[in-house]
Structure formats: C-alpha cells, structure tokens
Structure 1
Amino acid sequence: MIRTAFILSICLAAPLALGGCAAMRSAGEGASTVREGFVDAAAAPLEDLNLRRDEIPTVLLQAEAAPYDTRNLTRCASIAAEVRRLDDALGPDADEQPAPDGRLMSERASDAAADATLEAIRDTATDFIPLRSWVRRLSGAEAHSREVQAAIQAGRLRRAYLKGVGMQRNCAPPAAPSWFQPERRRRG
C-alpha cells in the first residue's frame, strides 16, 4: 500500500516538475529577449532626434513610385516573385492564415512580459525628452516617420493590386489571394 502511494505520488508530481522546468526555461528566454532588446529600447530617443532611422526597403520605394506598374510582370511566376518581395518587407497579407503558434502558454506569457518590459523601457527613455513632439518635428524624425508609413501603405496597395492582376490572369497564390482557386483550362 505504501509502495503504491509512493509510485502514485511520483506519477502525479512528475508533470508538475516538468511544467515548472518549462516555465523556468520560458522565463529565462524572456529575460534573454529583454537583454537583447534593451539597447534598441533605450536608444529610442535617437530616433526622436533623427540620429537613427529605419531604412525604407527598396521594394516599398518602388511601390510608392509606381504602384500600378505591370512592366515585366507578364507571367504568374513574376507576379508571385514580386508579391513575395512585398511580403518580405511588409509581413503576411491579410488574406493569409497566421502561422500556428505552437508555443507553450508559459512561453507566450514570457514573450508578452518581455515585450511589455521593452515597451516600458522605450517609453521611459523617450519621456526624458522635453517637448518631444517639437523635437521630432524640428529634427525631421516626424517627417521620416510619415515617409515610412506612406511607403508601407504604397506597398500594401501594390500587393493588393498585383494579387488582383494575378487573379485576373488565373494565377495561383501567392500571385493571387490565398483563397483563389485558378480555373483549370481545357486543352484542345
């Protein structure tokens, strides 16, 4: 009887111990994320002073210059390649399913805590700039931020346009929306 109780207690305690190990590993990874992102978060005022800028990807600048250009996009493969370039710069499109999140709950919680910590560091660092909105305007950081947003918007517009063109030409995704099924054409 004592031996059965001992074995039963081990069987019940093992999953709890393993869960604790996973939680500790997740907490360690969260701390590592904060350590790696600390410099970027603390350097946020450099963006406000326009001393550090995010570069706008070339594909977005091209989209901004000519969002409806279809030169050299006569085949489905070339349309798909252009859509992939835009996906690389913008992330997945709204018509695409999000990637499955196979992380444990403790890992998601750790990531959320790390993100919140880095955001608090960023906010604290930028709060030290008096009259921050004026500093951003005078340094050119606000204008650069608007340029980045305009390029992102142009890239999204171009991607949507290209997927429409791909759909019209009966292309398979990614040259068309992910839900689109090209019609099979009969040979004859």
Structure 2
Amino acid sequence: MSRSEIPPALVKASQDPYGLTGLRTCRQLASAMKDLNQVLGPDFQRDTKYRENRMAKLAQAGGKTVVNSFIPFRGLVREVTGAAPADRKMNAAIDAGYARRGFLRGVHATRNCRPRL
C-alpha cells in the first residue's frame, strides 16, 4: 500500500487557514488561490448546474461493496496499517484547504481586487 503525501499548499493551509502573512497584494491573494485550486480542483461557480452520473455512482458503490466483501475486517486492517489515520489526516488537510480558499476569496472581494475570483 502506498500513502499519499499531503500537498504543500494543504500543509500550509492546515497550519494557518486564516492568516494573511505574505498576502499584501491582490496578485499574491490570487496566486495563493491558484495554488489551492490546483490541489482542490475548481471552486464553486454561480449558475453552474450539478449533473450526477447515476450509472457511475452505482458502479462505484458496487465496486466498494465487492472490495469490502473480499477483504474481511478491512477497517481493522486499515487502522493497523496506518491507512485510516493517514486518510483522516489528508481529509483534515483538505477541509483546511477549503476553509482557506473561502477565506482568501472573501479577503480578495473585500479589497475590491480585480478580476473577481
């Protein structure tokens, strides 16, 4: 099994999600947002319609069920091997990244920076 390393942008977001150190200009704010977007994917946009692929969701759920049936005590194995704690740490970093991106978007708007993000 391999563990994913937490990207540096998320490590930084985890350490200080609401800090503005080194972010004095609009250009610096936009750059910080760009770094987070590269890791987290695009941010929500107004008037974007969400389309769910139901067949893909069913296939994904079926795949997880099959995997879980082949590996008895999967949860215990994940805890013992360190995979579950690593996932929790990654999820916490992703949550901090989302919080930071929202915060930076608000600061960018408050400062009347152009173009709008």
Give the TM-score taking structure 1 as reference length.
Answer: 0.53
Between 55-64 and 84-93, the greater mean CA deviation after superposition: 84-93
Q: Does 1:129 align with 2:71?
A: yes
Q: How many residues align?
A: 116
Q: Does 1:73 align with 2:26?
A: no
Pairing of 1:6-25 with structure 2 (within 5 A): none
Pairing of 1:39-78 with structure 2 (within 5 A): 51-78=1-28
The one-letter amino acid paired with 1:123 is T
Gaps of 5+ in 2: none
Deviation by residue 1:41-73 (Cα, 9 ceiling, x = unmatched): xxxxxxxxxx13333222111100121232221
Deviation by residue 1:13-55 (Cα, 9 ceiling, x = unmatched): xxxxxxxxxxxxxxxxxxxxxxxxxxxxxxxxxxxxxx13333
Q: Alpha carbons of 1:118 and 1:153: their partners in 2 closer, same or farther (altered >3 Å)?
A: closer
Match of 2:46 among 70, 93, 97: 97
Identity of aligned residues (%): 34
Gaps of 5+ in 1: 1-50, 102-107, 175-188
Whole-Å separation in 1 of the counterparts to 2:85 and 2:112? 40
1:168 is displaced (CA, Å) by 2.4
Pairing of 1:106-185 with structure 2 (within 5 A): 112-172=54-114, 173-174=116-117
Segments of 4+ in structure 1 off by > 6 A?
none
Q: Alpha carbons of 1:147 and 1:166: their partners in 2 closer, same or farther (altered >3 Å)?
A: same
Give the TM-score taking structure 2 as reference length.
Answer: 0.81
Q: Secondary structure at the match of 2:88?
A: helix
